[in-house]
Amino acid sequence: MSASQAFAARAPYRGSGAALRGHPLLRVSNLSAALSVVLVLLQLRGGTVGEVAALLAVPVSAAAVFAADRRYLPTVLLLALPSLGTLSGRDAHGLVSTATAPFVFPEATTFVALAGVELTAPLAILAAAFARVVLELLRGGRVFRGVLPWWLLPLFLVSFLPVLAGGLQGQALGYNRWSQGPRAMLAVAGFLWGIVVVRRAGPEGVARLTRQLTAVVSLAALLLMVRFLHGMMVFLAVGFIGGVLPGLVARRRFLEAGLCALSVAVAALSMTLTTFAEVVLAIGCVVLAAPGFRAAGRMLVRAGVFAACVMSGLLIWAVMQMQGKTALEMVTRDEGLMAYAVFKLMGDRGPLWLAAVEQITGGPYLVVPAGRPLRPQSFDYGGLVYTWEFGAHNTVLELVRNVGVVGGVAALVLMGFAITAAVRLLLSTPSSALRGLAAGFLGVAIVGITTGNFPVYDVGFFLWAVGGMLAGARLYATREALETAGGAA
């Protein structure tokens, strides 16, 4: 432990925010959670009632996030569900089709738009979290001391300026997804917001926060099992469910463990290679990091995480080398897991990765118009060139093509710190609950960065927020270990 970490552990940050804590709406966390449930259910009705409920969810979610209080995490997650975790009339990317889903939100949006961007709860969450981070930096940034190096925060903030300029440029050019660049940076900034939350909770609040996050994962398992949870929230939830499952079994919490196992089984009916890889990596990390494996298991975890990151880059490189005729020969419609995997790489991911690389290398590099559509060549449908706006299906490529090199490097460095902190916590904490959360985070983050867009979409905010909470929890876990050994002042 460095001197700055020791100082930060001995002097836990509290922060102010008394005005928000005293607000009647947020004074009792159960009240805000109950209010969020009502607003979510009203949005199920659709029409004017649903739109008004979605609009009311905006200030409530913003206030809950800005308070940076762990008690309001359920409120924030619930209010984000209609836009990020359920099917709507405009969402064609759910894992369960709209025709078979029992819960369908007619419109998970509001009737208010700013500069062409709809004012929704996820947007309010991103903006309020970033505002809270800026506020903490204006106070001196003491909340981040001992967790992050001093140079990382100004680097991230300065890199946001060309990203914002690129977003405005994309709007001027008429791109539909022009806000994706700034929103990607705000999503990654969730890591900083998560640090603020855990530092405000203090060392005595880490155990409560851990129980709360585990309960949220169990709730997600229930929602997934009853087919209420769809869309990109599934990619976020399944990895964490796999991560906490072994710990629940070890602690003999068989009811929650059974719920998690059933939810994974239900998800398996429509499970993609992404979610399958998340579950396998998460369970593997938590099992190998268990105390019974000792040094051998810890070495395997380090090697496995490092190999997964390296293989991600090699996979992209290998696919990009197989162009034209080679790809056409490899793509098949045969049944079987291997044929499906080859099809996804060659016929789906490969063309998008190639188009994203061409777009990035073609410039510009500093101020990039955000929201530019890709022009991939379909290798499995006769070489047809088509327009694609949904993303590059690789976080690194999707990030750089929307925010530029400077913003992309700053965001990737922050992601690297989040992954490193999770690995260190996984290998050092005696808490099986924290190990499960860290393993779930690693499974979702590594797989999502390789084959998905969601780590830099609005839903990615929650992924990096959990990463920030784990980074702060590691600080206090180290302090508790020092106090037990008599080494802390």
Mean pLDDT (whole number) for 152-169: 90
Q: Residue 422 domain-assigned?
A: yes
Whether the pLDDT of residue 437 is over 80: the answer is yes
Tallying the residues shown for the chain, one arrives at 489
Residue 133, domain extent:
125-312+395-485
Q: Residue 340 domain-assigned?
A: no
Q: How far is residue 42's CA from residue 48's CA, in Å, rounded to a whole number?
A: 10
* Least confident stretch, 73-77, 178-182, 196-200, 386-390: 386-390
Q: Which residue has the higher pLDDT, 330 or 378?
A: 378
Res 134: pLDDT: 93
pLDDT, tens digit, 9 for 90 and up, residues 246-259: 888 777 777 777 77
Query: What confidence tier does 9 reach under pLDDT thresholds 50, 70, 90?
Result: very low
473 touches 198 (CB < 8 A) = yes
Q: Residue 113 domain-assigned?
A: no
Q: Residue 466 domain-assigned?
A: yes
Query: What confidence tier does 140 reach under pLDDT thresholds 50, 70, 90?
Result: confident
Mean pLDDT (whole number) for 299-319: 66
How many domains is the chain built from? 1
Rg (CA), the chain: 22
Query: What confidence tier does 162 reach under pLDDT thresholds 50, 70, 90?
Result: very high
* Least confident stretch, 157-161, 186-190, 253-257, 456-460: 253-257
pLDDT averaged over the chain? 75
Q: Residue 8 domain-assigned?
A: no
State the CB neighbour count (10 A cutoff) for residue 406: 20
Res 102: pLDDT: 45
Max mean pLDDT among 100-104, 301-305, 396-400 falls in 396-400
Give me the phi and psi of 369, to 5 degrees please.
-60, 115
Q: Which residue has the higher pLDDT, 350 or 182?
A: 182
Q: Residue 19 domain-assigned?
A: no
Res 311: pLDDT: 63
> Which is it for the CA torsion 28, 31, 37, 43, positive or negative?
negative
Give me the phi and psi of 377, to 5 degrees please.
-105, 120
pTM of this prediction exceeds 0.85: no
Whether the pLDDT of residue 197 is over 70: the answer is yes
Tokens of 413: 């460095």
